[in-house]
Amino acid sequence: MSIDTRAIRQDFPILHQEVHGRPLVYLDNAATTQKPRSVIDALVRYYEQDNSNIHRGIHTLAVRATEQYEDTRTRVARFINAPAPEGIVFTRNTTESLNLIARTWGDTHVNEGDEIVLSVMEHHSNIVPWQLLARRRGAVLKYADVDDQGYLKLDELRSLITPKTKLVTMMHASNVLGTINPISEIAEMAHAAGALFVVDAAQSVPHLPVDVEALGCDVLAFSAHKMAGPTGVGVLWADTDLLEEMQPFLGGGEMISVVREEGSTWADVPHKFEAGTPNIADVVAFSAAVDYLESIGMEAVREHEKALTAYALDRLSTIEGLTIHGPTDVEHRGGAVSFTMAEAHPHDISTIVDTHGVAIRAGHHCAQLLMRRLGVPATSRASFYIYNETSEIDALVEALEDVRRVFGHAGTRSAV
Amino acid sequence: MPGPEALFDELYRDLILEYYRSPKNRGSLPQPTHRAEGLNPTCGDEITIEVKLDGNTIEELTFDGQGCSISQASAAMLGELVTGKPVDDALHIAHRFEDMVLRGEEPDPVIGDLEAFQGVAKFHARVKCATLAAKVLADCVESPVDAKAGG
């Protein structure tokens, strides 16, 4: 592995603790990642030294706070190779970013009988906003299926995209299966039909190099807290021409140019979409997270996670009665590994594993359509990040052996 | 600190695993008088309980559903325990069971084998799994199958 995990672990204070008397093994990174000292320090420094409301302020603190907030915008733009910082809108999370597009672009461009194409592997945050839009506008949703290996059925997707398609939306990397979807290929399909192409990048921007120009999407959404940054900050990237043409999302302070009794005019983008006092402190601290990832290098992050995922797939496949859901080729998947075990429900697995100090997630992972497609009520999921080591996967495997001991599918249990 | 086995063995008592693997009352009734279903949306546990009341007595009871061992075994065990009992006694058992799991109270003798779930109180994330059946049972006896006929 090309990154120094030992050194990285030293940067994450939370990792150095015991849970149930065992060293914490944090494998729930698809839900949220831990934060390095530099991010925590940036948050504290902001409140201790620079706290002020941004924009319009003349005094020194207001200028400092504004500069730091806007500087994060520039860094985030550079991080995803966006052509201009003005294309970055700060929201609360990926969910809000997707709702913003549905409420603004969607409400003015999607009409009765129009079609929206998405997939059954989407997170609820990339399903429900479109269901609401479809209901408001009388549009129709069409879902592309996945195959038994967990890959999107591209031929089916191609046939679903027609001249009636106004919008195509797809997750870049799956939070359940790990699958990395061929985004640039889908972008071509969407654009050939004249549709807008929206990408849910919540599980990709934190884990691999993402270049919006190379992907060819029109809109990209992701969250700071899944990439070593604070909670409460989401990003919506869109082409600035698109943002300028779109109607505002929320109305209020910061997003206006002139307010008169009979109506108002809007601030320039991106401020048109940032009504009210934003989450300044967390945006400022997000900058430290971007710096941290850049100092490691996203290519190196990706290589590290590929190696960990390959190791995990290999070790997990040795456990009798365990089924892995998702692709096995690490070139086409990220580090979210879902599995089920005969006879043991995911919550029982999670509880037993937790007694070993190992944190994994159990449930439907906000992907009920996919659970139904897989024919399971829920799965267990381990997901990795820059600070995880192969020894932690060994700890997971050891804990899963205990699950087998308690719930072993032979249906018997040796006396304790 | 106790080892992992000591911790989870307190939760996964043999009796619970037995009821989870081979519940005797899983299924549905041909002619239930009352039925209710419940769901823990955060974890997806589902339980449906059907009963046949004879006057004020639970003559027959079945449960069905899916979910973790704690949710399914508690439904099976609670269901067995209240079958043949007056509704008031059944609800009393359900409430005393909740007191033990939710509030960490000492098990009341009326809950019988359900005391096997005492360890759940220490696993905060799992308490809702254990109390789902008790909630559905309370709903069930208030929910006649034919709302019109049942008044």
| Beta carbon pairs, A and B, within 8 Å | 63
pLDDT digits (tens, 9 = 90+) for B6-18: 888 889 999 999 9
Q: What is the domain partition of chain A in residue ranges?
A: 5-30+297-407, 39-294
DSSP strands (E only) in A316-371: 322-325, 336-341, 358-359, 361-363
> What is residue A32's three-state secondary structure?
coil
Q: Which amino acid is at A27?
A: L
**pLDDT of B1:** 60
Our CA angle for A253, A88, A259, nearest 5°, is 20
CA distance A257 to A58: 18
Q: Which of A19, A345, A352, A400 to mutate to test the interface with B (most CBs of B within 10 A)?
A: A345
**pLDDT of B41:** 79
Note the CATH number of domain A5-30+297-407.
Answer: 3.90.1150.10
Q: For the CA atoms of B123, B127, B133, B134, what is the dihedral angle to 10 degrees?
A: 120
> What is residue B2's three-state secondary structure?
coil
CA distance A367 to A392: 26
B68 phi and psi angles, rounded to 5 deg:
-75, 170
CA distance A306 to A340: 21
Residues of B in contact with A347 (CB under 8 A): 43, 45, 67-68, 70, 126, 129
Inform me whether the C-beta atom of residue B123 falls under 8 Å from chain A C-beta atoms: yes
Find the radius of gyration of the CA atoms of chain B.
15
Check: CB of residue B91 under 8 Å from CB of residue B79.
no
Q: Which of B1, B5, B7, B8 to mutate to test the interface with A (most CBs of A within 10 A)?
A: B8
Instruction: Quote the tokens at residue B109.
Output: 């003798």
CA distance B72 to A340: 18
Question: Do the chains contact at A416 and B14, CB–CB below 8 Å?
Answer: yes
Catalytic residue among A366, A374, A386, A393: A366
CA distance A245 to A113: 23
Walk me through the domains of chain B, giving residue ranges and CATH numbers.
4-145 (3.90.1010.10)
A69 phi and psi angles, rounded to 5 deg:
-60, -50
Percent helix, strand and coil across chain A, each to the nearest 5:
45, 20, 35
Check: CB of residue A401 under 8 Å from CB of residue B90.
no
DSSP state string for A64-121: HHHHHHHHHHHHHHHHTT-S-GGGEEEESSHHHHHHHHIIIIIHHH--TT-EEEEETT
Check: CB of residue A253 under 8 Å from CB of residue A275.
yes
Inform me whether the C-beta atom of residue A349 falls under 8 Å from chain B C-beta atoms: no
Restricting to A residues 234-273, those with a Cβ less than 8 Å away from any Cβ of B are: none
Question: Which of A114, A169, A174 lies closest to A366, judged by CA?
Answer: A174
**pLDDT of A410:** 46
Inform me whether the C-beta atom of residue B126 falls under 8 Å from chain A C-beta atoms: yes
- In chain A the first and final C-alpha atoms are separated, in Å, by 41
CA distance A233 to A76: 12
CA distance A358 to A378: 19
| Partner-chain residue, chosen from B2, B7, B44, that has the shortest CB–CB distance to A378 | B44
Q: Mean pLDDT throughout B37-63?
A: 93
pLDDT digits (tens, 9 = 90+) for A47-97: 999 999 998 888 999 999 999 999 999 999 999 999 999 999 999 999 999
CA distance B15 to B113: 8
Question: Which of B75, B135, B131 lies closest to B102, judged by CA?
Answer: B131
Check: CB of residue A272 under 8 Å from CB of residue A104.
no
Instruction: Quote the tokens at residue B2.
Output: 């106790």
Q: Return the sign of the alpha-carbon dihedral for residues A33, A35, A36, A42.
A: positive
Residue A13: other Cβ atoms inside 10 A: 12
Q: Spell out, as residue ranges, where chain A has pLDDT lower than 50.
A: 1, 410-416
Contacts of B122 (CB under 8 A, 6+ apart): B10, B11
> What is residue A399's three-state secondary structure?
helix
CA distance A126 to A199: 9
**pLDDT of B4:** 83
Question: Do the chains contact at A402 and B5, CB–CB below 8 Å?
Answer: yes
ipTM for the predicted complex: 0.88
Which residues, listed in sequence order, are joined to residue A260 by a DSSP beta bridge? A263
A117 phi and psi angles, rounded to 5 deg:
-110, 130
Helical packing angle, A298-316 and A390-407, nearest 10°: 30
CA distance A30 to A334: 10
Instruction: Quote the tokens at residue B18.
Output: 């037995």
pTM, 2 dp: 0.93
**pLDDT of A72:** 98
Distances (CA, A) of B74 to A71, A349, A351, B39, B125: 55, 18, 17, 14, 16
Mean pLDDT of all residues in chain B? 92
Q: Which fold has domain A39-294?
A: Aspartate Aminotransferase; domain 2 (3.40.640)
CA distance A117 to A136: 17
Strand duo A115-119 + A88-91: pairing: unpaired
Closest-CA residue of B relative to A18 is B1
CA distance A304 to A335: 10
Question: Which of A365, A334, A335 lies closest to A347, judged by CA?
Answer: A365
> What is residue A147's three-state secondary structure?
coil
**pLDDT of A413:** 40
Residue A171: other Cβ atoms inside 10 A: 29
Question: Do the chains contact at A21 and B9, CB–CB below 8 Å?
Answer: no
CA distance B8 to A401: 13
Indicate whether B142 pLDDT > 70.
yes
